[in-house]
Amino acid sequence: MTVKEIYDNLESFTGDQRAEHLGNLSRQFSDVSMGDLVNFQDNWSPSKGMEAFFAEQGKLFKKCINLEVSNFGKTVREALGLEPLTWDTEII
């Protein structure tokens, strides 16, 4: 599945699909995006519920994807010694 396919279908993934695709994608993220994801999880209040968690997490994943595929993201990834992440990158 490509980065674009994950982005476009993020809200429709079931539990196992979501875990698989977002887990595989997050392993491709730079430290910048991973830091945002970790910070989000660390600061999430469980009282808000899992449905709200998944909705907000999905929004954050989309922001991270937009960052990673942008020109700025390409520069950051290059500085960190990472290959560029594009909309067409296959995520396995």
The tens digit of pLDDT for each residue in 8-36 reads 999 999 989 999 999 999 999 999 999 99
Domain that holds residue 74: 3-79
| Burial tier of 16 (Cβ tally within 10 Å: 0-12, 13-18, 19+) | exposed
92 part of a folded domain: no
90 part of a folded domain: no
The tens digit of pLDDT for each residue in 53-88 reads 999 999 999 999 999 999 999 999 999 999 999 999
Exposure b/e, 45-80, CB count within 10 A at least 16 = b: eeeeeeeeebeebbeebeebbebbbeeebbebbeee
Determine contact, residues 87/69, Cβ cutoff 8 Å: yes
pTM of the model: 0.92
39 part of a folded domain: yes
89 part of a folded domain: no
Say what the pLDDT of residue 89 is. 97
DSSP state letter for 81: T
88 part of a folded domain: no
Please state the domain count of the chain: 1
